[in-house]
Amino acid sequence: MNAESSRVAVESPGDLVDRRLVAWFYLAACLFLLVSMLGGILMALQLVRWNPLKGIEFLSPGRWRMVHTNAVAYGFLANAFLGTLHWAVPRLTMKPVASRALSYFIFFAWQLVVLATAGGLIFGPSFQAQPWLEELTAQTQLSLSLGAQGVEWGETPFWIDPVALVGLLLVAINFMVPVARSKGPMYVSLWYFVAAYIWTILTYGMGNLMPEYAVAGTNAGAITGLFIHDLVGLFVTPMGWGLMYYFVPIILQRPIWSHGLSLVGFWGLAFFYPLQGIHHFLYTPIPMFLQYGAVISTIAVELVVATVIINFVGTIWGDGEKIKSNLPLRWFYCGMLYYFITCFQCAFQVTLTFQKLIHFTDWVVGHAHLVMFGVFSMWIFGAMTYLFPRLLRRPWYSRQLAEWHFWLSAVGVFVMWLDLTFAGVFQGFWWSSLQPWMDSVNGAVPFWITRLFAGLAMAGGFGCFLVNLYKTWRMPPVSESEETMDLMLEPATV
Amino acid sequence: MFESKGGVFFIGGVGFFAFAFLANVVVPMAMFEREVTPVLDREMHFALEVDEDETKLVKRLDELRAAHPRAFRTHEGAEVAVGLDAEHRFVKQELDKLQEEFPDALSVGEGAEVAVGLVPENRNIQKQFEELERRYPEAFAEHFGEVSDETCAQALRLGRQVYIGEGCWHCHSQFIRPVSNESLRWGSVAASEEYDNELQKPVLFGTRRVGPDLSRQGGRHGHDWHAVHLFEPTWTSPGSPMPSYPWFFDGSPEKPNRRGLALITYLQWLGSWLDEYPYYEEFDEVKGGQY
């Protein structure tokens, strides 16, 4: 924030933020994460053949697996990011969002989108055999499914896609207005947010419309790969890093180490990330030079990631002790460590040599969990740990529960990643050595059992968080001033 | 530019996305511009008879074929001009003009409606569908009536929707890679043209294999096996972690409902376009196992 814009500011930044709305977004995010975790546990139980809810149509693990992934992307991450944006963007621009009424409308519309998606995924397939629907499918020669559509993360039923797109457009308008109104150069976080608003719309539109309606076959595969990759790279990643650039300097009370490196990080991501989609479909009939291009740009982005990590290590250099006492900071830096691990892993697994062995195996599943939970969910937990006391105007009920949340999550996801990575290597060798298929399934069961318990640990950690949140909410508010909210961050005070 | 609102929004946001879209979407689309084969459709065919000695006419026709490759097709051994949509109507007009110009060398026949698509052009799936009617006569009569191109197309389309809606594609892939001995286990390596049809819109490559690849599954097992396997997977494959799908049946694997019959038809269709259909492993150890 340069000198001019802080002179212009007449309101205190706190007044620009609608705390109630941030809290609502966070609560919705927590609710959907809970649903998603239940779906994940159900699928994990099915894999180890202990599913106690067998043969119940609306609890089919196949459908709940899609609820699991969609609830994380659209229910948990999107809601949590929207909540945090409502906190951060007005403070970064010193302007309120375009319209508070619009913010509330977006809140309700987005919950409707998420609930309708879940409803469609769970109930849609049961009603697919409708004469009118089959006739429409035959006339249009399109995959008009009441339930899922056949694109990962684009399963959103076809009748919700337009609503979700309008919602994303409204989000972009609501947050672009304060950015446009603000004066002076933008802070790093805002680069990521501004790019992410437009990327998310383009990515969502591309993945939810083109393979379903416009393009078939191999070309649809190229688009699908681009979509599943961009949803992580152009929606979740920029939102996540934007928040890191915002929260870390505030908590440490010192500026980002190198402005030049943050420029490299942003523009490197913007250029290389979108070019990588096809690496999800190596050895398909997609032209080989495009597959090579995707591999090379993926390796290139790992170098960019290294600059970002160096920048954040430089920022905390000399103050590293703080991650012991300051929980949000610990969440953030642990997430960054995992981010570095996933990206390092990615530079290897993306090569054709590794893909030969590990494509289609649990290796990829482990990688996905380390990215989505170990990095972005952990960052969000850190932001929630930092913000909930400020939203509810009372310090956390229990430091111990917060610690349990951290350790169960951090250890749980790491064990799951390690376990599934090994499982993937075994599966790859069993398959390529032409063992009977069931050998690869039976051999994977010990890994899947380990994964089940790692998942239960992650869910248990989140349970601690929910209990802590409920108990905090039941306590009387202590203060109107923000400084006291940091009470729990120092161990001596609890 | 690197820190300005316009630079971030238009160059980073819109521009780089557009560049990637060009590289990863437009380029493959331009390379693989192919017709998407419908499951079942109707076309007007006009039979062509050309006197090859009329070089001027042959040259004009070659130009027309080059400009409108989709408007010409071989049907029952003879070349036909295809017409229904605007482009093809234009081709028909051009042909009529040529016919006036060269009345002795070219004749364009009367139009005849022809069924085209995955069902009428694939004898294997027709046979499988007839077999399904013989195996489950009562259920088939109740849910699909009688065997025809139309009901077979309905079954394929609904079967694909069930396959997607139930999440089958999250644990079963549909492409064979040229590595890891996959072609020994499952059959010929996936080719691009196999996927240019309505049932691969969106494409069902898949990204995970808990169960085996299914793109050459058709014909390997009977309808019975599929019915029992879907009703309770462990009855045919002990230890299978696949969920059971009793809701595709009216109480027992003997009585599949419309969704069950449709899904079995879809599964039997997979790979049915290949000469090697049905594919069995050449590798003895694999053949000796459960798969």
Q: Are B243 and A51 in contact (CB under 8 A)?
A: yes
Minimal Cβ distance to B180: which of A179, A186, A432: A432
A132-141, A459-468, B79-88: range with lowest mean pLDDT: B79-88
Contacts for A214 with CB less than 8 Å, ≥ 6 apart: none
Check: CB of residue A283 under 8 Å from CB of residue A352: yes
Structure confidence at residue A31 as a pLDDT band (50, 70, 90): very high
Q: What is the pLDDT of residue B132?
A: 96
Confidence (pLDDT) at A490: 44
The string of pLDDT tens digits covering residues A205-230 is 999 999 988 888 899 999 999 999 99
Q: Is A288 a residue whose pLDDT tops 60?
A: yes
Report the distance separating Cα A50 and Cα A48, nearest Å: 6
Residue of B nearest to A444 (CA): B210
pTM for this predicted structure: 0.91
Answer whether residue B125 shows pLDDT above 90.
yes
Summarize pLDDT for B175-193 with one digit per residue, the tens: 999 999 999 899 899 999 8
- Tell me which residues of chain B, numbers 184 to 243, contact chain A at a CB-CB cutoff of 8 Å: 184-185, 190-192, 195-198, 200-212, 237-241, 243
Nearest C-alpha in A relative to B29: A219
Quick one: pLDDT at residue B285?
53
Q: Which domains are delineated in chain B? A: 41-116 (3.30.70), 123-288 (1.10.760.10)
Percentage of chain A with pLDDT > 90?
Answer: 84
Closest chain B C-alpha to A5 CA, distance in angstroms: 15
User: Does position A266 have pLDDT exceeding 80, yes or no?
Assistant: yes
pLDDT at B127 exceeding the cut of 80:
yes
B6 at A interface, C-beta within 8 A: no
Give the one of A46, A198, A271 whose C-beta lies nearest to B241's C-beta. Answer: A46
Alpha-carbon distance of B210 to A268, in angstroms, equals 36
Among candidate residues A234, A193, A239, A195, the one with its CA nearest the CA of residue A76:
A239
Q: Is A75 exposed, middle or buried (0-12, 13-18, 19+ CB in 10 A)?
A: buried
Are the beta carbons of A356 and B28 separated by less than 8 Å? no
Q: Which helix (H) or strand (E) holds B78?
A: strand B78-83
The pLDDT score that the predictor gives to residue A144 is: 87
Question: What's the distance, CA A491 to chain centroid?
Answer: 30
| DSSP state letters, A26-82 | HHHHHHHHHHHHHHHHHHHHHHTT--TTTT-GGG-HHHHHHHHHHIIIIIIIHHHHH
CB neighbour list of residue A49: distance below 8 Å, 6 or more residues apart: A445, B239, B241
**Predicted local confidence at residue A14, as pLDDT:** 67
**Secondary structure (DSSP) of B154-190:** HHHHHHHHHHHHTTGGGT------SSTTHHHHH-SPP
pLDDT digits (tens, 9 = 90+) for A77-122: 999 999 999 999 999 999 999 999 999 999 999 999 999 999 999 9
- Closest to A125 (Cβ–Cβ): which among B4, B36, B162? B162
Chain B residues with CB under 8 Å of A65 CB are 167, 170
Helix A437-474, helix A362-369: angle, nearest 10: 10
Structure tokens at A168: 């994303």
Averaged pLDDT, B121-125: 93
